[in-house]
Amino acid sequence: MMKAKSLIKLVLVVFSLLAVANSSQLNAQDHAADGKDITKSNDPIVLQRADPFIYKHTDGYYYFTGSVPTYDAIEIRRAKTIEGLQNAEPFKVWEKHESGPMSRHIWAPEIHYLDGKWYVYFAASEEDDIWKLRPYVLELKGQDPLKDEWVELGMMQAADDDPKSFTDFSLDGTVFEHNGKRYFCWAEKTGGQFAASNLYLAEMESPIKLKTVQFMLTTPDYDWERIDFWVNEGAAVIKNNGKIYITFSASATGASYSMGMMEADENADLLDRNSWKKSRYPVLETNEEKGLYGPGHNSFTVDENGDPLMIYHARDYENAVGNPKMVPATDKRPLEEIKADPLYDPNRHARMMEVKFDNNGRPVFEFY
């Protein structure tokens, strides 16, 4: 009799544990289970994906990519809805080299469809020189980004008469079209890792080469752009009401990370500094009340109705803790210094928000 009671207790315990495990899995994977619409909240749409980028293609799918926590590969996933991306299977479409160019710090990939072909733009450095970051390009030999072969086209090329572009720490390249021209916008530090990171803009000749000499769009001018590091990076483009806007991220990658914005008339010369006006203050920054820290490195897409959405990353806590396993072996800093480096904290999650506009048509970014 005692053995039978013990067996019954054991079965009940097992069923209880299974129920808890199943409940946890549902809560983690399906926010709709508790009545919360993930597309109307500050919750992550994809966990541990910094520098998120979403492109909605003509096939009706959303294609998502971003920096994987290990900084060693490029993954792409797709879904029919933004909400579906959280459970979509990630496809590893490319992996870093063992040495030489493209062997370390695989950062901020973006997927674009240009002239009937798929391209991925990303930054990478070298195992023996981890801050030798440069922009590189992949091209798809086919039409299915998840299944067909991606080939390396090499480094992004400067215009023939431009001796400066991509000669130093360069990253965060993005592509956009405006008034019949295609542009490349990227961040570059002239003077090594600890110099100021500026945003540059140039017209493109082809998907892998610039047509014009680099034009400096913005440099860190204000205090909120100079916290720990002087940074302007992570550009993204949105248009509205006769204006073109370029958002960007500023300062170090911890809680001080924030978003600024440049704007110009849609008919202005985009390669003329006088065409652009810069926001005096951040347009999005840490909100302790909402529990969102270091929002930035955004991209833009549209929802199922064609309304604009912003995709960005942010942490749930203020004090980032670097994971030593993510740090290159050539990084000889003390362990405590590495743990204090937010760059190696993997919990920058991809999130989204609706883009609203004020009475003048300027985009407004507000947490839910």
Average pLDDT in the chain: 90
Q: How many domains does the chain have?
A: 1
Q: What percent of the chain has pLDDT over 90?
A: 83
Tell me, yes or no, whether 273 lies in a domain.
Answer: yes
Domain contains 2: no
Give residue 8's pLDDT. Answer: 40
CB burial readout 222-244, b (16+ within 10 A) else e: eebbbbebbbbbbbbbbebeebb
- Mean pLDDT value across residues 310-334: 91
User: Has residue 15 been placed in a domain?
Assistant: no
Nearest-CA neighbor of 37 among 49, 45, 46? 45
Residue 333 has pLDDT above 50, yes or no: yes
**Residue of 51, 126, 188, 225 marked active site:** 51
Given pLDDT bands bounded at 50, 70 and 90, which one contains residue 12? Answer: very low
Q: Report yes or no on 134 lying in a domain.
A: yes
pTM to 2 decimal places = 0.89
pLDDT score, position 9: 43
Compute the distance between CA of residue 312 and CA of residue 367 in angstroms, rounded to an integer: 11
Residue 27 in domain: no
SS3 195: coil
Find, among 319, 314, 303, the residue nearest to 354 by Cα. Answer: 303
Is 51 in the active site? yes
**Closest CA relative to residue 351, chosen from 305, 297, 308:** 297
Distance CA 227, CA 7 (A): 62
Residue 151: strand, helix, or coil: strand
Sheet holding 104-114, edge to edge: 104-114, 117-126, 129-141, 149-155
Active site residue 168: no
SS3 content of the chain, % helix, strand, coil (to 5): 15, 45, 40
Q: Which of 22-36, 52-66, 93-107, 150-164 has the lowest mean pLDDT?
A: 22-36
Average pLDDT of the segment spanning 191-204: 90
Tell me if 84 is assigned to some domain. Answer: yes
Res 39: pLDDT: 66
Identify the active-site residue in 127, 233, 341, 345.
233
Q: What is the mean pLDDT of residues 115-143?
A: 97
Mean pLDDT of the region 94-112: 97
More confidently predicted of 334 and 331: 334
What pLDDT band is residue 325 in, cutting at 50, 70 and 90? confident
Q: Note down the domain range covering 187.
A: 48-364
Higher confidence at residue 331 or residue 240?
A: 240
Q: What is the pLDDT of residues 30-44, one digit of tens each?
A: 444 344 567 679 999
Is 10 within the bounds of a domain? no
Strands 209-210 and 197-206, by their bridges, are antiparallel
Q: What confidence tier does 22 reach under pLDDT thresholds 50, 70, 90? A: very low
Task: Give the CATH number, domain containing residue 242.
Answer: 2.115.10.20
Q: What is the CA radius of gyration of the chain?
A: 22
Asked whether residue 35 is domain-assigned, the answer is: no
